[in-house]
Amino acid sequence: MASIVEIATTTPGFSTLVAAVQAAGLVEALQGAGPFTVFAPNDDAFANLPLGTVQTLVQNPPQLARILKFHVVAGHYTQADLSQVTSLQSLEGSPIPVNGAAGEVKNATVLMADVEADNGIIHVIDRVILMG
Amino acid sequence: MMLTFLLLLPFLGAIALATWPNLAAKSARNLALISAGTALVWTIWLFTQFDLTTGSLQFREFWPWLPALGLNYELGLDGLSLMMVALNSLITWVAIWSSDPNQERPRLFYCLLLLVSAGVAGAFVAQNLLLFFLLYEIELVPLYLLIAIWGGEKKAYAATKFLLYTALSGALMLAGFLGTVWLSQAEDFTYHAGLGQSLPLLWQVGLLALLLVAFGIKIPLVPFHTWLPDTYVAASTPVAMMLGGVLAKLGTYGLLRFCLGLFPDAWVWLSPYLAGWAAVSVLYGAITAIAQKDIKRMVAYSSIGHMGYVLLGGAAMTELAMTGAVTQMVAHGLILAILFHLVGLIEAKVGTRELDVLNGLMNPVRGLPMVSALLVLGGMASAGIPGLVGFVTEFLVFQGSYATYPLQTLLGVIGTGLTAVYFVILLNRTCFGRLDNAIAYFPQVSFSEKLPAYLLAGLILYFGIQPNGLVQWSAPTAQVITAALPTIPGQLLANPPTPQPLNPNL
Amino acid sequence: MTTLTHTPLPPSTHPHADIIHRLEAGGSMLPDTPENLMQIIGIYKAYAVPMDFYWRDLLYIAERVFLNPIPAFKYFLPQSYLDLPNHYAGETADLRIWRGEATAHPELLEFMEKGELKHKLPKLFHHLWHDRINMEFAEACMRAMLWHQGMGGRFNDYLQTPEYTEACDRTIRAYFKGNPVMLGLYKAFPEMFYEKCRELSYYANLGQFWEVMAPVFFEMSDIYDEGGFAGVPDAMDFLVNGIFAVAGRPIYHHVYVGDECFELIPKSCGFTWLYEAALPYVEAVFYRTAPFRGTKSYNAQAGQVPAAQSDFHYGILFADVFPIGSAGIPPTLLMQDMLHFLPPYLQDYYRQHCRGEDDQLTQIGATFQRSMYNVTSAVIQALRTALLYPLNDPNPEHLRANRQFFEAQMDRFLRPEARLRDIQRQDYR
């Protein structure tokens, strides 16, 4: 199997996410032992953000990293695990509300669940989630 | 002819207003202003011709009218009359200026106002008892109409009450004058100081009592005051200014000129009671004012209190107190006129006089800041704050009367303190605090609307700082009046600062 | 957005239901009338010019004046700060929001030179005559943020960390190098100096917040002048997009001692414009602040002042605009600043209403209130976009969540002081 980053890189439809992870300097961290649960917004999700949002974030890696860390949780949570919890602590520090029954993570919907990787698990979501 | 012009100018103005064909509303106002303004200029000219070295009558005029009745057209002017005439001319002009430019039925309104002014001017210079009575009565008719036609709420009731009271006042006065002349067997009704002195003291006191009640109603003094709040409140702003500023002075003028002048002995005999009466009036007016919820009514009651000082000054019989009494009449006229004017402006702009509704008018942008500031000045002047004319005159009265009647004077001083109480209540509720969002879209106050208040405020300030400008005119007359009084009863003469009364030989 | 006129949900029963329905249809709390649009855009422009001074001076104070014990000249901007390129305007912008220039606005420069007197005098005279930009207003806003503090974001927490105090320590020692008096004071009362540093960090925070808002408002004014806004919702959407575009802008505090830069709050902390500046600002200044001094007496023992800071509600959305004109209070200062830069159409408008030029300040205040209700609407819609669901989401559960969010926001305007109902009326001026 491959690491989280490798899967994201090789799967079509995640180019923005990969570019963002690289820009934020999080590649190394996400290749660590983990395990991590990553909620991965696809390219459409990023494209839905208003104009300039991504540009500003890419210009400012620490701020970008903070947003991206909000999509990562320490530990290995499968879809079945997610339906057992109502909230997870993100690496950013803020909690992510989870609605397992509806397959929703905060205000995003899980499009593809349980993509297993070496150092964790990926759930593809349809929207970039934000703290607050 | 110099004094006749004082009557003639406003009278001609009234005639012109009544008869000029196709007079527009604006022109009617201008015509009234010109007429009153000419009278005012004429008065100022009189000041320049006035001889300050004598306290006796000047500019005397005499025309026989009905010699059989003893009624002659006799005019004369001394310091007391001069002050009153000046006040009348000034307040008339200011009142006309402060009237609504869109006055309803303007020709009749200004015509009546000028008739009142002419009548009052005549009364102040009349030196014949019957002539005084006639002019005193004549102004009642236009005033009655002014209140009954242009008044506010309950105007008919107020006008009738005013007419009844003042007519009674006139009747008593006539009785007093007739009694005096007949009993003293004078050949006509010409006014002579000390005319009644030849009568027995009891007769004198009786006749004096008639006149005291007559003028007590006009001033008014407690308990003859009940017509005043209703009338002042119902009258429109210019009429209230005339009523409080000028008409009330007919009463105090009569008090000093006729009560004191005709019966000096009886006056001296009654003076302790008069001083006590004054103190009661002062306290009653002030305490009642504190209880009012309507700012116009508050100002009206303040008038009762302040007229008490005039009586106090007159009763004290010292030159200082007499000067104080005369100047207090002027000060009261100025202060009451500015207060009624400002209260009228507030009512016109805000739409209410309720103390519980008014708030925050000092607000610099949406309130009426300049009106509020002037109201504060008027209130301070009325409360006798040093530097303003109210202080000068009240202080003169107190300083002059303390030696004679310390207790009554101290009560009067307490009254001044109470004046401050109700003015603080008035100013605090009206001017300070928070402006209410829901109602604070008042129309702007134009400079022209504020002009009367500026004028009066200027005089209040000027005479407060430079009281001699006021005092010098009446001081010689005050000396003559007090000199005419018989020796003050011995037990009251313990205090050395009292000026030595001269022999009652006039 | 605006094509959606009704939702499948039953009508709201909230007292402000009409406004909730308008928000659900993609509208603003401010009614969509041409008069409102004209007013708010005009006032945004008039606000942006002094704001261009505020942000520059706030940064100047935070970065250069720093702990100067007698900062008598802190409102005297040096040329370098007037030329400081705005990050969101001009050719050099990171993200060009305003098509104009990056340096200080020409109207601002003209006013700074001649002032209200329209006469060129030495700067000191203009300053003493108070014929200048009222920086006191900006500082009042800063102080509101400092005092209310815990309003979301991580900024305030960071100011209490050892990293921050260590950075302060280094900076203070460098700043007061060779000044034994101040260093001695620092040794005796270090906490006081740290607290001053925290205040200065809020200067930087607010300066960086307004650095964004000034070009946003300038651009809105330009778009309006070109006829680009069809209504109030358009203006609100522009703000929503602006908020998103710069959401990730770093918030930091750098201090310059000579040529050396000390990073009190480094960019690497990851503080963002949206979370650490914009949201706390809206909460502190629009909603909470504190009563204006000298306009009304409050009796704390009678419960007239809320016990909890979060219950404060004296901000522009609640404030009584009538005290405007009273000396020295923040709203007067701001309205006076905006008065100098009103576009001609707004000047004409004020002349036609109430007392014309005589109560212009209060009229500006009411307009400003309208415009800030629109900005708050933008913030509410932005939060809804970021945290909740699109307005045309097919899922009724999602729409219900949106409804709940809107209702919770409107609950704050149930207080009697709220001006939300007033601004619905055109004759509230």
Tens of pLDDT along B61-102?
999 998 888 899 999 999 999 999 999 999 999 999 999 888
pLDDT of B488: 54
Tokens 């100013």 locate to: B427
Residue type, C85: P
Beta carbons of C245 and A62 less than 8 Å apart: no
Q: Does A125 touch chain C (CB under 8 A)?
A: no
Tens of pLDDT, residues B444-463: 899 999 999 999 999 999 99
Chain B, nearest residue to C356 by Cα: B444
CA distance B331 to B341: 15
Peptide bond into C50 cis (omega under 30): no
Tens of pLDDT, residues C183-207: 999 999 999 999 999 999 999 999 9
Of A44, A51, A56, which to mutate for an interface test with C (greatest number of C Cβ within 10 Å)?
A56
User: Could you give phi then psi for residue B42, rounded to 5 degrees?
Assistant: -60, -40
Q: Does A10 touch chain C (CB under 8 A)?
A: no
Tens of pLDDT, residues B410-427: 999 999 999 999 999 999
Minimum-distance CB partner of C389 among A65, A66, A107 = A107
- With a pLDDT cut of 90, the percent of chain C lying above it is 81
pLDDT of A118: 87
Structure tokens at C25: 């249809």
| Nearby residues of C273 by Cβ (< 8 Å), 6 or more positions away | C208, C209, C212, C246, C247, C248, C249, C250, C251
Q: Does A106 touch chain C (CB under 8 A)?
A: yes
Q: What is the CA radius of gyration of chain A?
A: 13
CA distance C44 to C225: 13
B-C contacts (CB, under 8 Å): 37
Write out the DSSP string of B326-344. Answer: HHHHHHHHHHHHHHHHHHH
Q: Is B496 a residue whose pLDDT tops 60?
A: no
Tens of pLDDT, residues B325-337: 999 999 999 999 9
| Contact by Cβ (8 Å): C386, C333 | no
C120 C-beta neighbours (distance < 10 Å), count: 10
b (16+ CB within 10 A) / e for C186-223: beeeeeebbeebbbbbbbbbbbbbbbbbbbbbbbbbeb
Minimum-distance CB partner of C267 among A62, A107, A130 = A62
| Four-residue CA torsion sign, B467, B472, B476, B481 | negative
pLDDT of B504: 44
Q: Does C65 touch chain A (CB under 8 A)?
A: no
Minimum-distance CB partner of B365 among C296, C320, C362 = C362
Estimate to the nearest angstrom the gap between the alpha carbon of B128 and the chain centroid: 21
Minimum-distance CB partner of A51 among C152, C241, C383 = C241
Instruction: Find the angle CA(C250)-CA(C254)-CA(C260) to the nearest 5 degrees.
Output: 140
Beta carbons of C248 and A52 less than 8 Å apart: no
Instruction: In chain B, count H helices and then E strands.
Output: 20, 2
A120-125 and A36-41 beta bridge pairing: parallel
Minimum-distance CB partner of A66 among C240, C245, C272 = C272
Residue type, B465: I
* Cα separations in angstroms, C333 against B108, B368, C177: 52, 21, 37
Residues from chain C contacting residue B360 (CB–CB below 8 Å): 322
CA distance C94 to chain A (A): 8
| pLDDT band, residue B279 (cuts 50/70/90) | very high
Write out the DSSP string of B256-315. Answer: IIIIIHH-HHHHHHHHHHHHHHHHHHHHHHHHHHHT-SBHHHHHHHHHHHHHHHHHHHHH
Chain C, nearest residue to A67 by Cα: C248
Of B359, B366, B434, B442, which to mutate for an interface test with C (greatest number of C Cβ within 10 Å)?
B366
Tens of pLDDT, residues C134-157: 999 999 999 999 999 888 889 999
| Nearby residues of C333 by Cβ (< 8 Å), 6 or more positions away | C134, C136, C137, C140
A-C contacts (CB, under 8 Å): 66
Tens of pLDDT, residues C399-427: 999 999 999 999 999 998 899 999 999 98
b (16+ CB within 10 A) / e for B30-62: ebbbebbbbbbebbeebeeeeeeeebebbbebe
Range B181-201 average pLDDT: 87
Residue type, C224: Y
Beta carbons of B444 and C295 less than 8 Å apart: no
CA distance C346 to chain A (A): 31
Chain A, nearest residue to C395 by Cα: A102
| Contact by Cβ (8 Å): B343, B335 | no
Choose the weakest-confidence range: C61-75, C292-306, C323-337: C292-306
Residues from chain C contacting residue A47 (CB–CB below 8 Å): none
Range C347-371 average pLDDT: 92
Mark which residues 31-90 of A lie under 8 Å from C by CB. Answer: 49-53, 55-57, 59-60, 62-67
Q: Does B363 touch chain C (CB under 8 A)?
A: yes
Tens of pLDDT, residues B115-137: 999 999 999 999 999 999 999 99
- The helix-helix angle for C360-387 and C396-411 (nearest 10°) equals 150
Tens of pLDDT, residues B34-54: 999 999 999 999 999 998 888
Q: How far apart are the first and last CA of chain C?
A: 30
Q: What is the CATH number of domain A4-125?
A: 2.30.180.10
Beta carbons of A56 and C271 less than 8 Å apart: no
Q: Is B501 a residue whose pLDDT tops 70?
A: no
| Contact by Cβ (8 Å): C287, C412 | yes
Q: Tell me the sheet residues that pair with B294.
A: B354
Q: Is B200 a residue whose pLDDT tops 80?
A: yes
Residues from chain B contacting residue C422 (CB–CB below 8 Å): 437
Beta carbons of C322 and B363 less than 8 Å apart: yes
A104-105 and A72-74 beta bridge pairing: unpaired
Beta carbons of C95 and A52 less than 8 Å apart: yes
Q: What is the average pLDDT score of chain C?
A: 92
* Cα separations in angstroms, A104 against A67, B26, B332: 18, 79, 83
Helix (H, G, I), strand (E, B) or coil at C194: helix
Write out the DSSP string of B80-91. Answer: HHHHHHHHHHHH
Tens of pLDDT, residues B223-233: 999 999 999 99
Write out the DSSP string of C308-368. Answer: SGGG---STTT--STTBTBTT-HHHHHHHHHHTT--HHHHHHHHTSTTGGGGHHHHHHHHH
User: Could you give phi then psi for residue B126, rounded to 5 degrees?
Assistant: -65, 135
Query: Which pTM does this prediction carry?
Result: 0.81
CA distance C369 to chain B (A): 14
Of A58, A64, A107, which to mutate for an interface test with C (greatest number of C Cβ within 10 Å)?
A107
Residues from chain A contacting residue C275 (CB–CB below 8 Å): 131-132
CA distance C400 to C411: 16
Tens of pLDDT, residues B295-309: 999 999 999 999 999
Chain C, nearest residue to B433 by Cα: C296
Burial class (CB in 10 A: 0-12, 13-18, 19+), C69: exposed
Beta carbons of B363 and C354 less than 8 Å apart: no
Tens of pLDDT along chain A (132 residues) come to 788 999 999 998 999 999 999 999 999 888 888 799 999 999 999 998 888 899 999 999 999 999 999 999 999 999 999 998 999 999 999 999 998 888 899 999 999 989 998 889 999 999 999 998
Residue type, C59: L
Chain B, nearest residue to C417 by Cα: B437
C119 C-beta neighbours (distance < 10 Å), count: 11
| Contact by Cβ (8 Å): B254, B211 | yes
| Four-residue CA torsion sign, C328, C333, C339, C341 | positive
Total residues found in chain C within this entry: 429
Q: What is the average pLDDT score of chain B?
A: 90
| Contact by Cβ (8 Å): B70, B113 | no
Beta carbons of A107 and C271 less than 8 Å apart: no
Beta carbons of B363 and C295 less than 8 Å apart: no
**What is the 8-class DSSP label of residue C75?**
T
pLDDT of B198: 86
Tens of pLDDT, residues B14-32: 999 999 888 888 899 999 9
pLDDT of B502: 43
Which other chains touch chain B, taking contact as 3+ CB pairs less than 8 Å apart? Answer: C
Tens of pLDDT, residues B263-275: 998 999 999 999 9
Which residue from C245, C53, C204, C192 is spatially nearest to C132, judged by alpha carbons? C53
Chain C, nearest residue to A107 by Cα: C388
Tokens 């210019």 locate to: B238
Q: Does C269 touch chain A (CB under 8 A)?
A: yes
- With a pLDDT cut of 70, the percent of chain C lying above it is 98
Which residue from B359, B482, B490 is spatially nearest to B428, judged by alpha carbons? B359
Tens of pLDDT, residues C281-320: 999 999 999 888 776 778 888 888 888 888 899 999 998 8
pLDDT of B494: 41
Total residues found in chain B within this entry: 506
pLDDT of C7: 55
Estimate to the nearest angstrom the gap between the alpha carbon of B476 and the chain centroid: 21
Beta carbons of A51 and C245 less than 8 Å apart: yes
Residues from chain C contacting residue B372 (CB–CB below 8 Å): none
Beta carbons of B434 and C320 less than 8 Å apart: yes
Q: How many CA atoms, within 13 angstroms, populate the side-chain half-sphere of residue C64? A: 15
Q: In B436-505, which residue ranges form alpha helices assigned H by DSSP?
A: 447-465, 468-484
Chain C, nearest residue to A69 by Cα: C270
Helix (H, G, I), strand (E, B) or coil at B61: strand
Structure tokens at A125: 């979501």
| Contact by Cβ (8 Å): C196, C67 | yes
Beta carbons of B363 and C359 less than 8 Å apart: no
**What is the 8-class DSSP label of residue C269?**
G
Q: Tell me the sheet residues that pair with A89.
A: A95
Helix (H, G, I), strand (E, B) or coil at A40: strand
CA distance A58 to chain C (A): 9
Structure tokens at B225: 């005051």
| Nearby residues of B194 by Cβ (< 8 Å), 6 or more positions away | B261, B262, B264, B484, B504, B506
Q: Is B493 a residue whose pLDDT tops 50?
A: no
CA distance B426 to chain C (A): 19
pLDDT of B162: 94
Beta carbons of A63 and C271 less than 8 Å apart: yes
Range B474-499 average pLDDT: 65
CA distance C216 to C198: 28
Tokens 């303007």 locate to: B106
B458 C-beta neighbours (distance < 10 Å), count: 11
Structure tokens at B389: 């004319």
Minimum-distance CB partner of C355 among B360, B437, B444 = B444
